[in-house]
Structure 1
Amino acid sequence: MNTIDQANLQAIQLIAQARVRWVDVLPASEALPVLRSKVLLHAGPPLDRGAMCAAMSSAAEGALVYEGWARDLHHAGELLRNGGIQFHSAHDHGALGPMAGIISPSMPVLVLEDGGSGNRSCVTINEGLGKTLRFGANDPTVLERLRWIQRSLAPLLRDTLRAGGPVDITEIMARSVQRGDECHNRNKSATSLLFRRLAPWMLRTEHSKGEIAEALFFIDGNDHFFLNFSMAATKASMDAVHRTRGGSLVSCMAANGVEFGIKVVGSGERWFTAPAQKAEGRYFEGFSAADANPVMGDSYISEAAGLGGVAMAAAPGIVQFIGGSVEEATQGTLEMYRITVAEHPLFKIPSLGFRGTPLGIDVRAVLRFQIRPLINTGIAHREPGVGQIGAGRFRPPMECFQEAAKQMRLT
C-alpha cells in the first residue's frame, strides 16, 4: 500500500468513526467569530462580490435588509456595489449553507459537533421550499419568515434541546437511509424522525402552545427541514480529514453559481475550481432550463460523505422530484462504487443487499475511469427575487479533478 492509499485509509476511518450530535442553537455572530463585523458568508468557493450571480446577489441584498444595514433592497444593492460589506466562503469558516448559502450575523445557526474529532460546524435553519432567501428571493414574506425563525423558532429549538439533551444526527441519518432518504434532496424520513424526537420535549418547555403549534406545523410542512442538519453533520465529519496528509479523496464539493469547487484530503483549505454548469432536471410549471441559474450551494458535501446523488439507490422516490428513473438512480449509485474507495459502515442501502453507500471519492479514479461524481440539487432562477424553479442532477466539471491531480501530483 503506497502513502496515498494509506492516507486515504486513515481519512476513511475518521469519516466512518464520526458520531455527530446537534448540541446548540446560537446567533451566527456568537458561533462564528468572522461574523462579528459587517460580513456575510456565502456558499461555494471564495467569490469576488462583483462576480456574484443574480440569485446570490439578491439573497445578499435580502440579508442586508434583514440585518438593518440597508433601508431597502435598492440601498442594499448600493452597499454591495460600493464594497461596504465583506464576503467570505462559509466552508472556509466552519459553516455552510444551502444554495446561495448566505449567513448574516443575526441569523440563528444550528451547532453540530463530532464527538470523536471535536469538530464543530454551523448551518442556518431551513426555510422551506419555493420562495426563500437561499434561492435568491427577498420579498417581505421571505424576510418576515427569517425574522420569525429568529424571534420564535430558534429560541424554541434551543430550549427544546436544553430540555431533551443533544440529538444524535448520525443515527437519524443512518436510519433514514434505510427508509427511503438519501439525506440531500430527500429528507422525508429524517424530518419525521427528528419531529418525533423534538415534539415531546417542545411540550416540556415554557413556550406557549401557540408558539409550539406554529413550529410543529412549520416542521411538518417542510420535508427539507432535516437537510441543514445533514449538511452540518457531513461537514463536521469531513472536515476531520483535512488533518490527513497526502491523500487523494475529495473532502468537500460546493458551488457559488459561478464556479464549482472541490477540496481534497492533504490540500488543506485549497479550492480547485472550474466554471459551474446548469443541472438537468424537473422544472416547476411555467419554467424551463432557459430560466435556470448555474448550480450553487454547500450541500454538495453530502455526496463527498456518501449521501445525496451517490446514494440515490436508497431513495427511489427522489426521481419524482429531480427527474430521471428509478433504474437510472440505481445504476448511478452502482457506478459511484467505481470511483470510491470504501462503503459507509452506517449508511446501508436495502435494495442493494444493505451495501454501504459509496464513500471516499478518489480523484485518481475519477480521472482513470473518466467518471465524475453524481450530484443532485435544487435549481434557482437566474434572475433575482424569483426563487426555486425546480430540482435536478449534474456531474461537476472534470477540470476540478484534473487541476487537483496536477497540483497535488497525484498522476
Structure 2
Amino acid sequence: MSENRGLIGSELRVINIGTPKFKEDLDLQNVESVQFDWRPPAGGNVKLLEALDYLQEREKIDEANQNVIKIIKDAHPFLVDIEPAINAIPGMHKKLILHSGPPVKWEKMAGPVKGAIIGALIYEGLATDQKEAEKLAESGEIEFSPTHHYDAVGPMAGVISPSMPVHVVENRTHGNKAFCTVNEGLGKVLRFGANSEEVINRLKWIEETYAPALKNALALTDGIDLKSITSQALHMGDECHNRNKASTSLFYREIIDYFLQTDLSKENLRDVTGFIRDNEHYFLNLSMPASKSSLDAAHGVKYSTVVTVMARNGFEFGIQVSGLEKNKWFTAPANLVKGMFFPGYNEEDAALDLGDSTITETMGIGGFAMGASPAIVQFVGGEVQDAIEYSEQMYEITVGENSNYSIPTLNFRGGAYGIDIRKVIETNILPVINTGMAHKKAGIGQIGAGIVHPPVECFEKAITTFVDIYKEEADE
C-alpha cells in the first residue's frame, strides 16, 4: 500500500503512444510527456504481416543481403570515356528513345518527358518541328524504353537519344558499365522538357565540341575515380544528388590538367572547361551512373531483399529488388514533392515525382546522406537537424553501413545503405529522397525542390511477390 502511495505522489513522466490528443491535454496541464509515434508493423495489414513472418530469421536471406551490400561497397566506378549513345550503349538503335523511371506509354507520359522526347526527335533530325515530332512520337514508329533496361540513368525526364554523348562509367571491381548523358546546366534544358532552338544548339555543342574534347582528355587518364570524389565530397558538404558543388569542383580539379595536355584551341579550351566550372550540377550526371554501376553488380543475388533500383517517370514510381528478376518493376502512382517553391509557383504547377536520380538514394547517398550536407536545407526546406535526423532514420530500413561514404556530422559513421524491403514494411519507414521539382508543362523548367518518399505500395507489391516466388520454389 505504501508503494502505491509513493507512486501516486511522485512526479509523472508520461510516454504517450498513439494519438497525440492525450499529449496535447497533458501539455496544457504542464505535465512532462513524450510522444511516441508508434504504428503496428506493416500498418496492421494481415497479408503483409504473414509475409514478414515468413521472411524473418531466414538465414539464406540474411546471407544474400550481406553478399549484396559487400558487392555494392566493393564496387569501384571510374569515368573512362564519353561516346554517342548508339556506340556506347548495347542495344541502342536509331529509333530508340530512353526515358527515366519504369515503363510508360506516350499518352501517359508527364509534360516534361513528352517535351524532352520532342526535343530529342528534333535534335536527331527525325522531325523538323514540335508538331512533326509529336506526330512521330504518337505513330508507334519510335520505341520508348526505361534507361534502366539499358544500364543507363538520366535526371528528370532522363531522355537519351542515339546521338547524345553519354559518360561511360566502368565498375572496375565487377567489370560492368553504366551510362548517363552530360548535365546541360540550369535554365531551359532538355531534362525539364525544353526543346527550343537554344536547347537543341546546346545539345549539338555538347555533341560536336564538348564530348570530343572530354574524350581526348580522358584518353590521357587511367580513368577518373568517381568513388574517391564522392567520398571526399561528402566530407565537404555535398550529398551528391541535389548538392554537387564540392564534387563538381573535385572533378574539375582532376580533369583540368588533362584538358591542358590536349591540342584544343585556346577558345575551345576556355569553353569546355568553363562549361564544367559554371555548372555546379555537372557531377550529378557522374554520381548517377557511378551509383548505377555499383548497384547493377549486386542485382540478381538469389534470396536478397535489397532494393537495387528506385526510379520515377512523372506518372509512376518503381523499384526493383536484387533477388527478383532483372527489370521486374513494382510500381505505384508517383507522389507530389513537398518542399520549397521558387517565387510565383505552387503545388498546382508541379509535375509528379520525376527522374532516375533516386539511384543515388538507392546507393545510400543523396537524401540518405543529407546529414553530411547541412546547406541542402536551404534548397529543399527544413532545418539542419532535419537533415541529420533523415540520415539517422535510414539506418532503420537498411542492411549495412558504408564506411566508404561516411557522414561527418554522425561522427563519421558509415552511411546507411542496402534498403531492405522487409524493414521498410516492418517499420513503416520509407526511404527519404531529396529532389528538384519540374513544372508539369514542358520547358518551363525547375520550379522548386523538396523531400519526397516512394509510395509504400511499391514495397508491399515487392514483398508479397517475393514471398509467392520463394514459397513456390520451397514447395517444389
Task: Report TM bin, short chain.
Answer: over 0.9
Q: Which runs of 5+ in 2 are unaligned?
A: 1-57, 472-476
Whether 1:323 and 2:375 are equivalent positions in the alignment is no
Number of the residue aligned with 1:15: 72
Number of the residue aligned with 2:272: 215
- Aligned residue for 1:252, secondary structure, equals strand
Using the alignment, how far apart are the partners of 1:164 and 1:240 within structure 2? 24
C-alpha displacement at 1:34, in angstroms? Answer: 2.6
Number of the residue aligned with 1:408: 466
C-alpha displacement at 1:158, in angstroms? Answer: 0.5
Whether 1:249 and 2:341 are equivalent positions in the alignment is no
Number of the residue aligned with 1:33: 90
Q: Which runs of 5+ in 1 are unaligned?
A: none
TM-score when scaled to structure 2? 0.85
**Cα deviation digits, residues 362-407 of structure 1 (max 9, x gap):** 1111111100000011111101221111111101100000000000
Q: Describe how 1:238-317 pairs up with structure 2 within 5 A.
A: 238-269=295-326, 270-317=328-375
C-alpha displacement at 1:243, in angstroms? Answer: 2.8
C-alpha displacement at 1:35, in angstroms? Answer: 2.1
Number of the residue aligned with 1:335: 393
Q: Describe how 1:135-150 pairs up with structure 2 within 5 A.
A: 135-150=192-207
C-alpha displacement at 1:200, in angstroms? Answer: 1.2
Give the aligned residue type for 1:381.
Answer: H
1:95–1:121 CA contact under 8 A, matched in 2: yes
2:366–2:434 CA contact under 8 A, matched in 1: yes
Using the alignment, how far apart are the partners of 1:154 and 1:113 within structure 2? 18
Percent of pairs identical after alignment?
46
Number of the residue aligned with 2:227: 170
Q: Describe how 1:126-165 pairs up with structure 2 within 5 A.
A: 126-165=183-222
Q: Describe how 1:82-93 pairs up with structure 2 within 5 A.
A: 82-93=139-150
- Poorly superposed stretches of 4+, deviation over 4 Å: none
Give the aligned residue type for 2:314.
Answer: G
1:46–1:88 CA contact under 8 A, matched in 2: yes
Using the alignment, how far apart are the partners of 1:137 and 1:378 within structure 2? 16
**Cα deviation digits, residues 46-85 of structure 1 (max 9, x gap):** 1112211111001000000000000111110111112221
Number of the residue aligned with 2:447: 389
Number of the residue aligned with 1:68: 125
Using the alignment, how far apart are the partners of 1:296 and 1:34 within structure 2? 25
Number of the residue aligned with 2:182: 125
Using the alignment, how far apart are the partners of 2:196 and 2:448 within structure 1? 19
Give the aligned residue type for 2:374.
Answer: P
Using the alignment, how far apart are the partners of 2:62 and 2:294 within structure 1? 20
Number of the residue aligned with 1:372: 430
1:130–1:389 CA contact under 8 A, matched in 2: no
Give the aligned residue type for 1:406.
Answer: T
Whether 1:180 and 2:218 are equivalent positions in the alignment is no
2:414 to 352, 356, 366: 356
Using the alignment, how far apart are the partners of 1:325 and 1:274 within structure 2? 30
Give the aligned residue type for 2:129.
Answer: D
Number of the residue aligned with 2:155: 98
* Structure 1 range deviating more: 137-146 or 56-65: 137-146
**Cα deviation digits, residues 251-278 of structure 1 (max 9, x gap):** 1100010000000111122110000011
Using the alignment, how far apart are the partners of 1:217 and 1:112 within structure 2? 22
Number of the residue aligned with 1:233: 290
2:80–2:168 CA contact under 8 A, matched in 1: yes
C-alpha displacement at 1:197, in angstroms? Answer: 0.7
Using the alignment, how far apart are the partners of 1:272 and 1:198 within structure 2? 39
Number of the residue aligned with 2:113: 56
TM-score when scaled to structure 1? 0.98
Give the aligned residue type for 1:136.
Answer: G
1:189 to 234, 243, 246: 246
- Aligned residue for 2:145, secondary structure, equals strand
Using the alignment, how far apart are the partners of 2:93 and 2:193 within structure 1? 24
Using the alignment, how far apart are the partners of 2:382 and 2:199 within structure 1? 31
Whether 1:45 and 2:87 are equivalent positions in the alignment is no
Aligned length: 411
- Aligned residue for 2:212, secondary structure, equals helix
Using the alignment, how far apart are the partners of 1:33 and 1:230 within structure 2? 21
2:192–2:442 CA contact under 8 A, matched in 1: no
Using the alignment, how far apart are the partners of 2:387 and 2:396 within structure 1? 15
